């Protein structure tokens, strides 16, 4: 599992709700799910495919990959989707995807219901913990260690995400990731 924030959270009712009540959407590679600067509207359960979370640095004129969502996970600009605030990032289909999407307002109402009381805060706490650990890892681990841990945690990454996006996520150049891959394949 790529998104460790889901560990320990009981998200099965949300998955079931999305699959039963959500709109089925098929997205082609490169199609936008949420667009930076526009109101964030949706949350979806990813049945097939993967998404990448992208931010743009206007001064550099570059996009950076900040995360991914894979099969069996949820994709959203959380918590902006709950209130319809402007999205802080662009979420793009990295492959052909099949999702079950609901409005963020539906999710907000569902999370406020009695049978999910406390889940909204638990999701926020878990997301914060994941982002914080990722931030600290950039200082306490080498790029090689972070890449190796990423592959152990999410082996399908190599097949579904291109080198440039993995490098962007790890905050290094594609050449660095290519060299690390070569080390793993052929030894040092």
- Please report, for the domain that includes residue 31, its CATH number: 2.60.120.10
Overall number of domains in the chain: 1
56 pLDDT band, cuts 50/70/90, is: very high
Residue 59: inside a domain: yes
CA distance 91 to 37: 12
- The 3 state secondary structure assigned to 117-177 is CCHHHHHHHHHHHHHHHHHHHHHHCCHHHHHHHHHHHCCCHHHHCCHHHHHHHHCCCHHHH
Per the CB < 8 A criterion, the answer to whether 60 and 5 are in contact is no
pLDDT at 80: 93
**pLDDT greater at residue 108 or residue 54:** 54
H-helix or E-strand spanning residue 115:
none
CA distance 119 to 110: 10
Residue 131: inside a domain: no
pLDDT at 135: 83
115 pLDDT band, cuts 50/70/90, is: low
Task: Give phi and psi for 167, each to the nearest 5.
Answer: -60, -45
1 pLDDT band, cuts 50/70/90, is: very low
Residue 127: inside a domain: no
**Segments forming the whole domain that contains residue 19:** 4-116
> Is residue 11 over pLDDT 70?
yes
Residue 28: inside a domain: yes
Residue 122: inside a domain: no
**pLDDT greater at residue 85 or residue 115:** 85
Average pLDDT on 14-25 reads 93
Of 63, 127, 111, 113, the closest CA to residue 90 belongs to 63
Residue 11: inside a domain: yes
pLDDT at 182: 84
63 pLDDT band, cuts 50/70/90, is: very high
CA distance 154 to 161: 11
Taking the model in full, what pTM does it have? 0.80
Residue 163: inside a domain: no
pLDDT at 125: 76
187 pLDDT band, cuts 50/70/90, is: low
**pLDDT greater at residue 135 or residue 145:** 145
pLDDT at 117: 66
pLDDT at 10: 72
pLDDT above 70 as % of the chain = 87
> Is residue 109 over pLDDT 80?
yes
Residue 154: inside a domain: no
């Amino acid at each position: 599992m790529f998104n460790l924030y889901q560990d320990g959270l009981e998200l099965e009712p949300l998955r079931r709700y999305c699959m039963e009540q959500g709109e089925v959407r098929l997205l082609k590679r490169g199609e936008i799910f949420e667009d930076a600067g526009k109101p964030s509207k949706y949350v979806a359960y990813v049945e097939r495919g993967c998404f990448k979370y992208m931010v743009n640095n206007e001064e550099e004129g570059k996009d950076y990959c900040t995360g991914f969502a894979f099969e069996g996970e949820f994709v959203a600009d959380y918590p902006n989707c709950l209130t319809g605030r402007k999205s802080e990032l662009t979420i793009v289909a990295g492959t052909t995807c099949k999702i079950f999407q609901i409005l963020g307002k539906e999710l907000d109402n569902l999370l406020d219901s009695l049978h999910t009381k406390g889940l909204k805060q638990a999701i926020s706490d878990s997301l914060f913990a994941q982002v914080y650990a990722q931030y600290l890892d950039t200082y306490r681990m080498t790029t090689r260690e972070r890449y190796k841990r990423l592959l152990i945690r999410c082996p399908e990454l190599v097949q579904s995400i291109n080198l440039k996006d993995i490098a962007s996520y790890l905050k290094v150049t594609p050449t660095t990731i290519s060299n690390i891959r070569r080390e793993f394949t052929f030894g040092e």
